[in-house]
Structure 1
Amino acid sequence: MATHELFHTIHQLSRELTKLINQTLQPFGLYSAQWAVLFVLKEEGSMSQSDLCEYLAVEAPPMTRTIQRLIKQDYVRYTQGADKRVKMIHLTEKAETAYPEWEQAVLSANEKLLAGMPDEKRIVMQTLLASWLGTLKGVSHE
């Protein structure tokens, strides 16, 4: 198989997954980029914008726009970090309250996406993708 076919397929898969998550989150007024930020903050706790950018592999300008939208929706807020030059981003109480409903919608969409795929194939795919991502992140930090 030519590598360009592999990467084209991965790109197309990524676009389809993003489209499905956007459709799933539309009733909540959210998009996949916003969900990614909300998910990371819920799982990892408050973070600086630069840490969010690095974690999600997103450039600063689109991250700033995403965070500003989430602030307007009252889902995140800034607070002063231990280092006064750093602002930390936190989920608001409104986001904490709504999060379980968002998460359930995303989990349901994920299950539909994986319907018919045996558990052993899911495990292999997760292992391969996690390994590849770890390698890529290691390379990007050298």
Structure 2
Amino acid sequence: MNVEAPTITRTVTRLEANGWVKRVQGKDKRENLIVMTDDAKARFEEIKRTMEQFEEECLSDFTYDEKKKLLHTLLHKLSTE
């Protein structure tokens, strides 16, 4: 993924401070699991619905083939970065 460990740590710390995730002790002391909080799960579903509505509005004038081509292009772009 080309992301430095300190960047991930800062991001997780920020998500934890905002109540999105919590750290849970893993099987041994070297392992920490990052899990979504119950509040975050509920908020995530709401955000997901909002994003899906926004996506539908943005792509409403696209044909099926245009949507398919756009998705293919975006996935290709993401996979090459």
Aligned counterparts of 1:101 and 1:125: Cα–Cα separation in 2? 25
Q: 2:66 aligns with which of 97, 105, 121?
A: 121
TM-score (norm: length of structure 2): 0.73
1:63 and 2:15 aligned: no
Equivalent residue in structure 2 for 1:86, among 27, 31, 52: 31
2:22 is matched by which residue type in structure 1? R
What value does the CA root-mean-square deviation take over the aligned residues? Answer: 2.3
Give me the TM-score of the superposition, normalised by structure 1: 0.47
Which has the higher Rg, Structure 1 or Structure 2? Answer: 2
Q: What runs of 5+ residues in structure 2 fail to find an aligned partner? A: none
Q: Which amino acid aligns with 1:84?
A: K
The number of residue pairs the alignment matches comes to 81
> Residue 115 of structure 1: CA displacement?
2.8
Taking a change above 3 Å as real, the CA distance of residues 61 and 106 of structure 1, as seen in their structure-2 partners, is: farther
- Which secondary structure state, in structure 2, belongs to the residue aligned with residue 127 of structure 1? helix
> Which structure has more helix as a fraction of its residues?
1
Instruction: Using the aligned pairs only, state the percent identity.
Output: 28
